[in-house]
Amino acid sequence: MNRPPRTDRALSEILPKWGVLLLESHHSEQFTMDWRTHDFMKVIYVLHGRGIFFIGGQKIAFKSGDVIVVPPNVKNRIEDGPQVPSSLYVCCISEQIWSFDPPIAKHATVTVRHSDLHFTYRIAAAMRRMIHQQPLENSQRSLSIVSDALRILEILVRRNGQSKSNPNAEGSDYTIINRYVEDLPANFFEEKSIDQTCHALGIPRRTFTKYFQQLTGRTWLNHIRYLAVEHAKRRLRKTDLPVTSIAFECGFNDLSTFYRQFKRQCEITPLEYRDGIRKSND
């Protein structure tokens, strides 16, 4: 297997016109980096290695699996650990990407995130899509890359808010699963299988099942279905969207499956539920 090319110096960070650049930086044992300052945000995923990030006046130790955010206009550099050259994915995001809502930059400044596998997995997944899209020469490339950059910002903002509400949280299996459960109402429709989830979190299935049941009182699949139906009920109450659209929002491609799950939980069909709400409001 061919090894990726190693670099002795930090890579050039020249952003394309759409404002997002994904760099794959594999360091040699001679790697050095001078201080640099840039007018864009950098989100770094540490694939391998360990060392020190210098960000402004901060000195931050990092290791494999960490995510580091370097805000715009803050001087920064990296030092790898002795004989442990790092491999990094560096996502450079121009301020133009969040110009529609400037406070995003303030709320996305998570400096480093240790031992939060669900969070780092989602960041890494977005960067992985960028890696596949960036070399392509087609009309969808820039749109796909920018959408993943916005997704990364959204993940950072959400996690930053949760960190402030629970600053003493530890990286135990229970805490990781608890954070996953807290995130599920916003992400349930993306979930594919319990095995994929356990792999993403880096937690054995038996441990995950035990703590998930303690936190929710349900199995993983039953909880996903519960969240889907709860979302459907809100949409049926508050909108005039057709049931087919609501089923799609909830992650159901098969309308009959949606009807079956809804009736199992509510003992009535979605249309009967909507009609009942409207009659009670008359």
The answer to whether residue 194 is domain-embedded is no
pTM over the 0.75 mark: no
Residues 254 and 119 both lie in one domain: no
Indicate which CATH number applies to the domain containing 86.
2.60.120.280
Indicate which CATH number applies to the domain containing 249.
1.10.10.60
Lowest-confidence region among 8-22, 179-193, 212-226, 264-278: 179-193
The answer to whether residue 199 is domain-embedded is no
> What is the pLDDT, as a whole number, of residue 260?
92
- Please say whether the beta carbons of 199 and 207 come within 8 A: no
Lowest-confidence region among 6-15, 181-190, 218-227: 181-190
**Which residues does 41 contact at the CB level (< 8 Å), separation at least 6?**
69, 70, 71, 72, 92, 93, 95, 105, 108
- E strands, the chain, where? 7-9, 20-32, 40-48, 50-55, 58-63, 67-70, 76-80, 87-94, 112-113
Q: The domain containing residue 272 runs over which residues?
A: 221-281
Residues 150 and 86 both lie in one domain: yes
The answer to whether residue 196 is domain-embedded is no
The answer to whether residue 185 is domain-embedded is no
Residues 25 and 156 both lie in one domain: yes
Confidence of residue 158 (pLDDT cuts 50, 70, 90): confident
> What is the pLDDT, as a whole number, of residue 112?
61
How many distinct structural domains can be found in the chain?
2
pLDDT tens sequence across 76-135: 999 998 888 899 999 999 999 999 988 888 877 655 655 566 778 788 888 988 888 888
pLDDT tens sequence across 248-272: 888 887 889 999 999 999 999 999 9
Residues 149 and 252 both lie in one domain: no
